[in-house]
Amino acid sequence: MSPHGTGEGREDDTHRIALVTGAARGLGACIAGRLYDRGYRVALTDLDEEGAVRAAAELDPAGRNAIGLALDVRDKDAFVRVRDRIVAHWDALHVLVNNAGVAKAEPLMDITPDSFRTVVSTNLDGTFFGCQVLGAYFAERGYGRIVNIASLAGQNGGTATGAHYAAAKGGVATLTKVFARELGPHGVTVNAISPGPQDLPVVREMVPPEQLARIEASIPAGRLGRPRFIADMAVLLASEHADAVTGACWDANGGLYMR
């Protein structure tokens, strides 16, 4: 049974519609689940269509308030198609969470052109296309919330990830400001969250146990981050009353980076 239940007893106070990218597993699935718990209808999208459909079914077996869709964030036209499918299904769309990403831990001088393009296109191009397509849609309607998932790596150059990932996530933080300035007058807020190392399977798969132990020991708070808290931050930034917060980057890194 889903840890989120079957939809009964949800905090049904919004009935707003959210699109989360990279939501088949990990942080994206956690964010989608928290939005669902708060009464949102949620479209979970991912390059892994089967995974997205499965994650949506775990949230809502009846399929009334959660659906899974295929989305390659590297393709701008794919965002248009998904947007149109969601609007046709639920008549509206109010929130975008740009979470989709890929990370590789590769030595700086060993990163190939193909590897650099792959990481940057998913993390940076995907955020840009999402903000463009959904930002225009929201602006036409005078309301929208965009939450971009950046990273500590984009602020300090990274500790366990490669330069391509750090560079892309630094770009996400900058794009957040650019789109916030452009869309603010149209009732659309654009914000970013920059998590530090999170207690997620993908992190434990990518980082060797000894290195991860050293990273955890270096965190002033003494532990890896909790994905559920990052999800709560995303829900707060997506809320209707978050209208005075835009162009911001909220840090959640256990004290690894203070400013």
The pLDDT tens digits of the residues spanning 185-243 come to 999 999 999 998 888 877 777 777 888 888 888 888 988 889 999 999 999 999 999 99
What integer pLDDT is reported at residue 61 of this predicted model? 96
What integer pLDDT is reported at residue 11 of this predicted model? 52
Q: Quick check: 1 pLDDT over 50? A: no
166: confidence class by pLDDT, cuts 50, 70, 90: very high
What integer pLDDT is reported at residue 209 of this predicted model? 83
Give the type of residue at 114: D
Q: Quick check: 6 pLDDT over 80? A: no
Residue pair 134/96 in contact (Cβ under 8 Å)? The answer is yes
With 0-12 / 13-18 / 19 or more C-beta atoms within 10 angstroms meaning exposed / middle / buried, residue 88 is exposed
Identify the active-site residue in 36, 40, 165, 257. Answer: 165
Q: First CA to last CA across the chain, in angstroms?
A: 42
**Range of weakest confidence among 32-36, 207-211, 222-226, 253-257:** 207-211
- The two tokens of residue 23 are 């939501």
Mean pLDDT computed over every residue of the chain: 92
Structural domains of the chain, ranges and CATH numbers in brackets: 17-252 (3.40.50.720)
Average pLDDT on 54-69 reads 97
Average pLDDT on 55-75 reads 97
Average pLDDT on 143-148 reads 98
- Does 165 qualify as catalytic in the annotation? yes
Of all residues in the chain, the percent with pLDDT exceeding 90 is 79
4: confidence class by pLDDT, cuts 50, 70, 90: very low
9: confidence class by pLDDT, cuts 50, 70, 90: very low
- The two tokens of residue 13 are 């106070």
76: confidence class by pLDDT, cuts 50, 70, 90: very high
User: pLDDT tens digits, residue range 88-137?
Assistant: 999 999 999 999 999 888 999 999 999 999 999 999 999 999 999 999 99
Higher pLDDT among residues 5 and 43, named by residue: 43
